[in-house]
Amino acid sequence: MVKELLENAIDAHSSQIQIEIERGGSALIRIIDDGEGINKEDLALAVTRHATSKIKTLNELEQIISLGFRGEALASISAVSRLSLKSKQAEQEQAWMIDTGTDSDFANYSAEPEPVAHPQGTTIDVRDLFFNTPARRKFMRTVKTEFKHIDDIVKRIALSQFDIAFKLTHNKKLLRNLPKAVTEKAIIQRISKLFSPEFLANASKVDFSSNHFSNMGQIRLWGWVSVPQWNRKQSDWQYFYVNGRYIKDKLVNHALRQAYQELLPDDTFSAYLLYLEIDPQQVDVNVHPTKHEVRFRQTRLVHDFIYSGIKEALFPASDTAGLVSGQVSEPVAKEASSFAADNGEYINRYSQTNYNKPVLKHYQPPVHSSLNHNEIAEQLNGLTQLYRSDKQDSFQKDEQTGVNHSAEVKTNLDTFLGPFFGTSLGCLIPNYLMSQSVNSERQAQVFIIHIQRAQQFLLKQLFQPGQSTPLLIPETISLSNEQITSILEHQTALQQWGLELSQLGEDTLLVRKRPFLCNIPACKIDIDTFIHAVLQNIKHKASIDESQMMAAFTNAISSESLNASEQERLLMMLAEQIHQYGVEQAAMIKPVIWKALDESSLDKLLA
């Protein structure tokens, strides 16, 4: 109900919308907008069945640009509530009102509008919801639950209508006050307030456009998608809009799942806030009663476009999947392997720069091959030689000045291949991971990595004070009242370690937030062990010893079993941090994180 009324206000080109709710909407739903208003002659017609001013010709049914268009909302709402409607258009000197009261014969509703004082725009009051259908009223949830549904609707709409200011009150208490967001900074602020600042900090920006579909016109996908390392246990942070309309569509979901395939751990979900702009003629929004699903006229093309846009955002510098040659990054699906699109040209925008790619004559799924590190090293070396031949003059000049290009090639190879770790070979006995790599001298090496020590090292490198993970259900720890009092005296300092604590009863400590583990794969913390270590740290002390706290923090870390994608992620994160820390320094860390075994070492072991 609130959704339909808000969509009407948006379609009226409002710049400010106020939503007033009482008792979860059962007592009052009031929507106030400053839009174009309703003409006096149309007021009575507005509450009759199938009456709409948004569709004037049959052709407009095939290119719907408004959010609402069926003309059913006001009549349906009037049938189960006491509805009043006040409105004024800019050219009218007087505002007018109708009040349906208890009249239920809306097919022939013909009450005369009455004059009323009202600024330009429309105010709709819906009172005593389901007063005449008590059986339906019994199925309403609690006031808190009903209002949460309304708040979710306002949130979804506000995340797509940035040029409109929204105010939401419940029982006369202002809960959301969202000014217009017409600049990029203001849009980011609104998203941060409604979505999450943590999401934006771990998201890649998407801005992917195409003019290459000759019969589809311009199509654009923009927004934000979470990086694979930052994921969620549920799919509640997934918002997708088509021409400003929030949808949940199977085609869209399939394209997004494929883009993240093999990048996310099992039973986890990505987060995204995405906007698809497409010719209204290419999408049918009238295929679902609630308009949450749409039907694209060229489903394969749209699926491919969404998939490619997400892949480009997640791997903007990648050319291993045909992006350099201008081909689509991955196959859409098995059934799309024979699909062909003519006159193709993708345009991907990054930093306000357009990169025109060659025309895509025919869609061909790329052939995936498995390259070992020897082959990668050879290809890189060949590319380097090719580049040097193209720049021969400049290289000859460098040679005269004594520049060592072989050392440069070796450095590039070291950077590309990582410090050592390469590709995972799987987990061994608990807490050990094996991998194989080829170094710059093309010598094969096998690595045995202590998983927990690797996680502890990463935690020390990546930890940022003040970050925490809220708990949906707080954890409880049994302590003495004296211990609880002691630990709560250091609450402010402990918040820097991600702990938010409170007391429950005399002997129970409540943990509301736990430390943020920096998205380290399969890493968890034994909060009970950590809390007891904290107690030892602060015992008879006025302040916290930072080094002891870090030791307690990392010692409380334990490992879960790693799946294949988590193994690769752990190796990548470890390689990156060791590059920054220094390979030689990291190799001297005690206790040892990894052990490298080359062919001669293995021969000695098996002698």
Q: What is the token pair recorded at 240? A: 């997708």
Residue 427 has pLDDT above 80, yes or no: yes
Answer whether 51's CB lies under 8 Å from 107's CB. no
Residue 473 has pLDDT above 60, yes or no: yes
The answer to whether the peptide bond before residue 419 is cis (omega within 30 degrees of 0) is: no
Answer whether 314's CB lies under 8 Å from 263's CB. yes
pLDDT at 314: 85
**Distance between CA 97 and CA 86 in Å, rounded?**
4
Residue 535 has pLDDT above 80, yes or no: yes
pLDDT at 149: 93
pLDDT at 119: 93
Angle at 399 between CA 398 and CA 401, to 5 degrees: 65
For the chain, the structural domain boundaries read: 2-180, 195-356, 373-417, 423-455+562-605, 465-515+523-559
- pLDDT, one tens digit per residue, over 248-257 is 888 898 899 8
**Distance between CA 606 and CA 196 in Å, rounded?**
55
Q: In Å, how far are 289, 415, 426, 468 from 373, measured between CA atoms? A: 54, 13, 17, 38
Q: Taking every pair of C-alpha atoms in the chain, what is the biggest distance, in angstroms? A: 103
Element (DSSP H or E) covering residue 96: strand 95-99
By percentage, how much of the chain surpasses pLDDT 90?
21
Strand partners, 207: 222
End-to-end CA distance of the chain: 78
Answer whether 23's CB lies under 8 Å from 150's CB. no
Note the CATH architecture for domain 195-356: 2-Layer Sandwich (3.30)
**Distance between CA 23 and CA 462 in Å, rounded?**
46
Highest mean pLDDT among 65-69, 98-102, 287-291: 98-102
pLDDT at 273: 94
Dihedral of CA atoms 196, 198, 199, 205 in degrees, nearest 10, equals 120
Answer whether 477's CB lies under 8 Å from 507's CB. no
Residue 194: strand, helix, or coil: helix
Residues in the chain: 607
**Distance between CA 600 and CA 593 in Å, rounded?**
21
Nearest by Cα to 177 from 333, 37, 20: 20
SS3 track for 554-598: HHCEEECCCCHHHHHHHHHHHHHHHHHHCHHHHHCCCCCCEEEEE
Number of Cβ atoms within 10 Å of the Cβ of 604:
9
**Class of CATH domain 465-515+523-559:** alpha beta
More confident position, 56 or 401: 56
Nearest by Cα to 477 from 499, 497, 498: 499
Q: Provide the 8-state DSSP code for 464.
A: -
Write down the mean pLDDT value for the chain.
77
pLDDT-wise least confident of 46-55, 117-126, 199-208, 504-513: 46-55
Residue 336 has pLDDT above 60, yes or no: no
pLDDT-wise least confident of 158-162, 190-194, 465-469: 465-469
In DSSP notation, 204-255 reads: EEEEEEE---TTT--EEEEEEEE-TTS-BSSSTTEEEEETTEEE--HHHHHH
pLDDT-wise least confident of 300-304, 398-402, 461-465, 532-536: 398-402
Residue 323 has pLDDT above 60, yes or no: no
Averaged pLDDT for residues 113-141: 88
pLDDT at 396: 44
Local confidence band at 239 (pLDDT 50, 70, 90 cut-offs):
very high
pLDDT at 69: 66
Local confidence band at 338 (pLDDT 50, 70, 90 cut-offs):
very low
Nearest by Cα to 74 from 86, 83, 65: 83
106 Cα distance to chain centroid: 44
Element (DSSP H or E) covering residue 74: helix 73-79
Instruction: Tell whether pTM > 0.95.
Output: no
The torsion angles phi and psi of 519, rounded to 5 degrees, stand at: 60, 30
Nearest by Cα to 566 from 229, 199, 225, 259: 229
- pLDDT, one tens digit per residue, over 11-69 is 889 999 999 999 999 999 999 999 999 888 888 888 877 666 666 665 666 666 678 66
Q: Provide the 8-state DSSP code for 133.
A: -
- pLDDT, one tens digit per residue, over 474-511 is 788 888 888 888 888 888 888 888 888 888 878 888 88
The Cβ-side half-sphere exposure at 293, using a 13 Å CA radius, reads 8
More confident position, 399 or 526: 526
pLDDT at 388: 46
Angle at 375 between CA 373 and CA 381, to 5 degrees: 100
**Distance between CA 66 and CA 29 in Å, rounded?**
22
The Cβ-side half-sphere exposure at 390, using a 13 Å CA radius, reads 6
SS3 track for 497-539: CCCEEEECCCCEEEEEEEECCCCCCCEEECHHHHHHHHHHHHC
pLDDT at 144: 92
By percentage, how much of the chain surpasses pLDDT 70?
75
Environment class of 509 (CB within 10 Å of its CB; exposed 0-12, middle 13-18, buried 19+): buried
Angle subtended by helix axes 143-158 and 2-11, to nearest 10: 30
Work out whether strand 272-278 and strand 238-242 pair parallel, antiparallel, or are unpaired.
parallel
Averaged pLDDT for residues 338-358: 29
Q: Which amino acid, one-letter code, is at 495?
A: Q
- pLDDT, one tens digit per residue, over 256-266 is 988 888 788 88
Averaged pLDDT for residues 345-362: 29
More confident position, 120 or 392: 120
pLDDT at 283: 84
Element (DSSP H or E) covering residue 165: strand 165-170
Homologous superfamily of domain range 2-180: Histidine kinase-like ATPase, C-terminal domain (3.30.565.10)
Highest mean pLDDT among 152-161, 311-320, 408-417, 503-512: 152-161
Angle subtended by helix axes 143-158 and 184-194, to nearest 10: 160
Answer whether 154's CB lies under 8 Å from 237's CB. no
The torsion angles phi and psi of 308, rounded to 5 degrees, stand at: -65, -40
pLDDT at 71: 63
Residue 102 has pLDDT above 90, yes or no: no
Local confidence band at 354 (pLDDT 50, 70, 90 cut-offs):
very low
